[in-house]
């Protein structure tokens, strides 16, 4: 059985490791999605690193969204696509920052369906490459982060900024309507909407979209937990996938990069980076082993009725069982082989050459222990307050392999209620690990990236590495004595 993993992130330096996992899992080819830097020299690095492996990697590149506010952005990006395709790029990846982060000079968000981007979608269609466009997220990302939130294993710590339950952001419905407008207006372009089109929790609506747009495909990546978390959902997922197998691509969202490999656990198996101790194991070997187990969990979910008691998706802190779908063999083959005949067209085409305002206070009162709420509390502090409290200070050196959170920086002249969000490295605030949460008012040192995602270096903004350029001292209420954790 041919298996194509249509959604992976493989950084060039660890291509060999991805191949090792693919060999062990019987995966023939993988779509390697660049995050932000898959154009120009960045794209060249991907293509060079993957060249020795023939057609086993299908590279999806990017356009340079840092230039989104330049007047000729659409044309520039279209030219980038044409150049990329000429060199071997086989798809375009658009991150969810479109709609949620990329801002116009007046501070408002760029809508996904702005006519300014039409040259991009049109050029992809002309070039015959699919656009993998991630828009919005599950319903729960717009809901309070509490025990009832299925994705509460994601929406804290490093990924607290993925909770869109705060003011000043478009609704999920508005974003998906903008996305569908683009898909409808560009029938000559193939769109792959990952994560079941952000509709894994409303599969009837996902199927309606497939009916409405023949140029639309989904991938399964990162949504299997919700699709199989109860017998009822599994039954619904089984019906959906059986009916739509030709329009759904198998994908795992596995991550291979040096920083993740160092943790020794496939990044998608962790609540937060570094959340599981290595215990002396060889990081590389264990990364391979945990990634293989992660992929196999996906395949078992599709092909068997096994109930996985402790599936390797650390996405819900309450834990969940994963109920296998036991799909018919031909349905499984169509999905994992690239979405059947029609989907194979996507994969084969790819393989031709190888393939934010001040957030709501509600959240902080509802879950004071969550990273998100600490963060939101932080947002509410005037910046002067944040910068000058040293009386109780104890300094924490940031650890880039470990926790992360968002901070925000004001622009010069900006009023405190108009901050831009900035990804920043570090810190903990994980109630489980801290133990009791007390009011110490300690000082936390944060190293902060440039203020907006698209203004940082295009790669790995949320693990800044050498990218950060400013230091900001922030004061946190309700933080326990975390020093012992470091």
- The answer to whether residues 182 and 374 touch, using CB atoms and an 8 Å cutoff, is no
Q: Bridge-partner residues for 103, per DSSP?
A: 109
* Closest CB 253 distance from Zn ion, rounded Å: 4
Beta strand pairing call for 307-308 and 254-256: unpaired
Judged by beta carbon, residue 8 or residue 457, the one nearer Zn ion is 8
To which H or E segment does residue 446 belong?
Answer: strand 443-448
Sequence-distant (6+) residues with CB within 8 A of 71 are none
Contact pattern from residue 246 through residue 265 relative to Zn ion, giving x for each residue in contact according to CB under 5 A and a dash for the rest: -------x------------
CA distance 245 to 331: 6
137 touches Zn ion (CB under 5 A): no
| CB-based contacts of 176, cutoff 8 Å, min separation 6 | 135, 136, 197, 198, 199
What are 70's strand-pairing partners? none
Residue 134 CB, nearest approach to Zn ion (Å):
7
* Cβ at position 159, least distance to Zn ion in Å: 13
Query: CB of residue 137 vs Zn ion: minimum separation in angstroms?
Result: 12
Give whichever of 94 and 265 is closer to Zn ion, judged by the CB atom: 94
Pick 158 or 253: Cβ nearer Zn ion: 253
Q: How far is the CB of 432 from Zn ion (least distance, A)?
A: 26
Sole window of 125-133, 156-164, 245-253, 340-348 interacting with Zn ion (rule: CB under 5 A): 245-253
| CB closer to Zn ion, 60 vs 370 | 60
Comparison of 6 and 207: residue with beta carbon closer to Zn ion:
6
Identify the CA nearest to 351 among candidates 3, 17, 29, 26. 29
> Which is closer to Zn ion, CB of 175 or CB of 474?
175
Residue numbers 68-87 binding Zn ion by CB under 5 A? none
In the complex, minimum distance from the CB of residue 479 to Zn ion, in angstroms, rounded to a whole number: 31
Dihedral sign (CA 225, 229, 233, 239): positive
CB of 415 to Zn ion, least distance (A): 36
Query: Closer to Zn ion at the Cβ: 137 or 178?
Result: 137
| Near Zn ion in 385-444, by CB under 5 A | none
DSSP 308: E
> Please, what is the end-to-end C-alpha distance for the chain in angstroms?
47
Tell the residue number behind the tokens 């946190």, with chain if given.
476
CB of 251 to Zn ion, least distance (A): 8
CB of 222 to Zn ion, least distance (A): 7
Q: Using an 8 Å Cβ cutoff, are 299 and 336 in contact?
A: yes
Strand-strand pairing, 307-308 and 322-323:
antiparallel
Which position has the token pair 């020794």?
264
Instruction: Tell me which residue has its CB nearest to Zn ion.
Output: 253
Give whichever of 252 and 457 is closer to Zn ion, judged by the CB atom.
252
- From residue 189, alpha-carbon distances to 58, 215, 312, 347, 375 in Å are 18, 7, 35, 14, 40
Q: Cβ closer to Zn ion: 101 or 253?
A: 253
Query: Distance between CA 73 and CA 357 in Å, rounded?
Result: 26
Q: Minimum CB separation from Zn ion for residue 348, in Å? A: 21
Query: How many residues belong to the site for Zn ion (CB under 5 A)?
Result: 1
**20 or 253: CB nearest Zn ion:** 253
What strand order describes the sheet that includes 4-10?
248-249, 216-219, 191-193, 131-133, 91-94, 57-61, 29-33, 4-10, 254-256
> Cβ(168)–Cβ(357) under 8 Å?
yes
Summarize as ranges the residues that interact with Zn ion (CB under 5 A).
253
């Amino acid at each position: 059985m041919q298996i194509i993993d249509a959604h992976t992130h493989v950084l060039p330096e660890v291509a060999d490791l991805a191949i090792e996992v693919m060999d062990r899992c019987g995966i023939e080819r993988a779509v390697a999605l660049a995050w932000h830097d898959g154009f120009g020299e960045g794209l060249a690095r991907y293509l060079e690193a993957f060249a020795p492996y023939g057609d086993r990697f299908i590279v999806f590149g990017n356009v340079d969204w840092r230039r989104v506010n330049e007047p000729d952005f659409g044309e520039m990006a279209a030219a980038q696509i044409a150049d990329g395709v000429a060199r071997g790029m086989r798809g375009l990846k658009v991150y969810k920052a479109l709609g949620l982060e990329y801002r116009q000079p007046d501070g408002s968000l760029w809508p996904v369906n702005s006519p300014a981007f039409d040259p991009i979608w049109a050029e992809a269609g002309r070039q015959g490459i699919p656009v993998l466009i991630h828009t919005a997220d599950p319903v729960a990302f717009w809901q309070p982060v509490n025990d009832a939130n299925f994705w509460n294993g994601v929406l804290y710590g490093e990924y607290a900024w993925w909770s869109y339950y705060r003011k000043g952001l478009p609704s999920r419905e508005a974003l998906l309507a903008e996305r569908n407008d683009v898909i409808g207006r560009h029938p000559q372009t193939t769109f792959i909407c990952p994560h079941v089109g952000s509709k894994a929790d409303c599969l009837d609506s996902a199927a309606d979209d497939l009916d409405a747009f023949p140029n639309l495909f989904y991938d399964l990546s990162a949504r299997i937990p919700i699709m199989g978390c109860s017998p009822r959902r599994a039954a619904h997922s089984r019906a959906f996938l059986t009916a739509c197998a030709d329009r759904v691509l198998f994908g795992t969202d596995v991550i291979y990069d040096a920083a993740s490999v160092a943790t020794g656990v496939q990044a998608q198996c962790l609540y937060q980076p570094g959340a599981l101790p290595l215990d002396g194991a060889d990081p590389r070997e264990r990364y391979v082993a945990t990634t293989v187990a992660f992929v196999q969990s996906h395949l078992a979910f599709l092909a068997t009725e096994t109930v996985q008691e402790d599936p390797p998706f650390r996405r819900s802190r309450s834990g969940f069982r994963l109920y296998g779908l036991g799909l018919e063999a031909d349905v499984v083959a169509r999905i994992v082989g690239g979405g059947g005949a029609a989907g194979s067209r996507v994969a084969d085409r790819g393989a031709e050459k190888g393939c934010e305002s001040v957030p709501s206070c509600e959240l902080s009162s509802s879950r004071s222990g969550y990273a998100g709420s600490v963060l939101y509390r932080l947002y509410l502090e005037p910046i002067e307050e944040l910068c000058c409290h040293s009386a109780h200070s104890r300094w924490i050196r940031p650890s880039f392999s470990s926790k992360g959170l968002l901070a925000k920086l004001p622009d010069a002249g900006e009023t405190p209620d108009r901050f831009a969000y900035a990804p920043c490295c570090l810190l903990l605030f994980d109630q489980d690990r801290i133990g009791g949460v007390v009011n110490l008012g300690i000082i936390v040192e944060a190293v902060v990236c440039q203020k907006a995602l698209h203004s940082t270096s295009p790669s790995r903004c949320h693990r800044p590495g050498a990218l950060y350029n400013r230091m900001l001292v922030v004061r946190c209420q309700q933080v326990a004595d975390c020093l012992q954790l470091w």
